[in-house]
């Protein structure tokens, strides 16, 4: 029985590296930011919600986003393969990871939808906005 694509380790590693490349400041992002973008990439509906949140200047509702264990396992694999590093609460894209992402980015047939969403949002979601969302979770 084939493994669903979202659960394939290298697929998830590739997504993480794309997120760090397109959406991380200086190639860095917190675990929660990675989970937010990973959640957005799971479905068209989720990515639309995130895009609407950004284009509304963070006024539209974005109440909850998913936390998934497959992302954590993929982070461990990417770290072991020296594609990224972890320091001071942030994951950082390393040179080997950057080269890997650039190869993905050059191929117009790989991660087409994901690249479109990530490029569109870019670096428009700072960590303080994500921390504010988490604070709202605690108050919900």
pLDDT tens for 29-61 read: 999 999 999 999 999 999 999 999 999 988 887
Residue with more model confidence, 38 or 135: 38
Per-residue pLDDT, 123: 96
- Expressed as residue numbers, the domain containing 87 is 5-139
Instruction: List pLDDT tens digits, range 13-28.
Output: 999 999 999 999 999 9
Q: What is the pLDDT of residue 67?
A: 84
Give 139's pLDDT tier (boundaries 50, 70, 90). Answer: low
Total domains present in the chain: 1
Determine the average pLDDT of the residues in 60-71.
82
pLDDT at residue 3 greater than cutoff 60: no
> CB-based contacts of 55: which residues, under 8 Å, 6+ apart?
none
User: Which pLDDT score, from 0 to 100, does residue 61 have?
Assistant: 79
CA quadruple 10, 19, 128, 76: dihedral, nearest 10? 20
Residue 25 and residue 43: Cα distance in Å, rounded?
Answer: 24
Q: Token pair of 131, please?
A: 């921390």
What confidence score (pLDDT) does residue 71 get? 94
Q: What are phi and psi of 113, to 5 degrees?
A: -65, -40
Q: What confidence score (pLDDT) does residue 33 get?
A: 96
Report the alpha-carbon distance of residue 16 to residue 6 in Å, rounded: 12
Q: Note the pLDDT of residue 53.
A: 92
């Amino acid at each position: 029985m084939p493994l669903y694509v979202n659960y394939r380790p290298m697929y998830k590693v590739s997504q993480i590296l794309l997120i760090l490349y397109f959406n991380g400041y200086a190639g860095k992002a917190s675990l929660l930011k990675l989970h937010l973008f990973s959640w957005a990439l799971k479905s068209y509906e989720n990515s639309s919600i995130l895009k609407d949140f950004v284009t509304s200047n963070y006024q539209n509702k974005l109440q909850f986003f998913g936390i998934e264990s497959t992302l954590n396992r993929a982070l461990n694999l990417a770290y072991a393969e020296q594609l990224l590093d972890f320091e001071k609460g942030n994951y950082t894209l390393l040179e080997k990871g950057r080269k890997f992402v650039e190869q993905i980015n050059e191929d117009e047939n790989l991660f087409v939808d994901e690249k479109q969403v990530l490029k569109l949002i870019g670096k428009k979601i700072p960590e303080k906005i994500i921390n504010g969302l988490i604070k709202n979770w605690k108050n919900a």
